[in-house]
Amino acid sequence: MIERLKKIGIFILLFILFLYNDLFYLVPLKLLNVNLKTLSYKASLLGSLIASLILIVIIVIIYRKYLIEKLKDYIKHFSEYFDFGMKWWVVGLFAMMTLNLLITNLTPLKEATNEVLVDNMLKKAPLISFLSATFTAPIIEEMIFRKSFADIFHNKWVMVVASGLLFGLLHVIFSFKSALDFLYVLPYGALGSSFAYVLKEKDNVLITITFHMLHNGILTLLSILTMGV
């Protein structure tokens, strides 16, 4: 019971740090009497990237024993894990694309507001946005919404569904413009559930981090090339 409460506490702590991540750079700047209103868009994104790196350090400190153990396991079974991860990434990607097509064709929505915001970031600061989307975001999201979530929910299917829904909700809740936007919880959640299933089956978050990085990296590069940034 005590161990379970500890795991719940870790999830709550990391979730709060995730929500208020920018305070890691905003508070020091405020203490230095920097006028935050004068920060450029690129400077703000760079600050967010640095704040994300700080959060990753905290996560690594908390889960250092687990990560060392799973790194050895990942190297030992790399071929098996990569094949399994690839299979379920494709499943999640197919589900995500199918749901996006249904939303696009059956509703007035043409694109998730979150995607519009990401494209805007890529136009204004492609390198910083690429680093954030491809490296820091997958590590943070997989460790919090997959690993720490899995520690709380022992039932595989409850964890898979709950993790996917929360993951999808977080990609919508901060950018929605209408109630219809919440339909995008489903495609984002489909990919999140796919990753959650991989973690529950293989008990190694490094697999899901790998494919989350591949997913974000490929999509971000395609967006940059398409926009001609």
Q: What's residue 28's pLDDT?
A: 93
Q: Residue 25 above 70 pLDDT?
A: yes
Closest CA to 210 of 49, 74, 54, 15: 74
* pLDDT (average), residues 22-49: 91
pLDDT band of residue 133 (cuts 50, 70, 90) is: very high
**Average of per-residue pLDDT values in the chain:** 93
Is this prediction's pTM over 0.75?
yes
How is residue 36 annotated by DSSP?
G
In this prediction, residues 107-132 reach a mean pLDDT of 86
Buried b (16+ CB within 10 A) or exposed e, 84-119: bbeebbebbbebbeebbeebeeeeebeebbbeeebb
Q: Is the pLDDT of residue 103 over 90?
A: yes
pLDDT band at 224 (very low <50, low <70, confident <90, very high): confident
pLDDT of residue 130: 93
**pLDDT tens-digit series, residues 53-99:** 999 999 999 999 999 999 999 999 999 999 999 999 999 999 999 99
Token representation of residue 201: 């089956």
At 41-57, the pLDDT tens digits run 899 999 999 999 999 99
State the pLDDT at residue 154.
84
Instruction: Report pLDDT for 229.
Output: 55
Contact 132, 45 (CB under 8 A): yes
pLDDT at 186: 95
pLDDT per residue as tens digits for the range 156-204: 999 999 999 999 999 899 888 888 999 999 999 999 999 999 999 999 9
Asked if 141 contacts 52 with a C-beta cutoff of 8 angstroms, the reply is no
Name the pLDDT band for 228 (thresholds 50, 70, 90). Answer: low
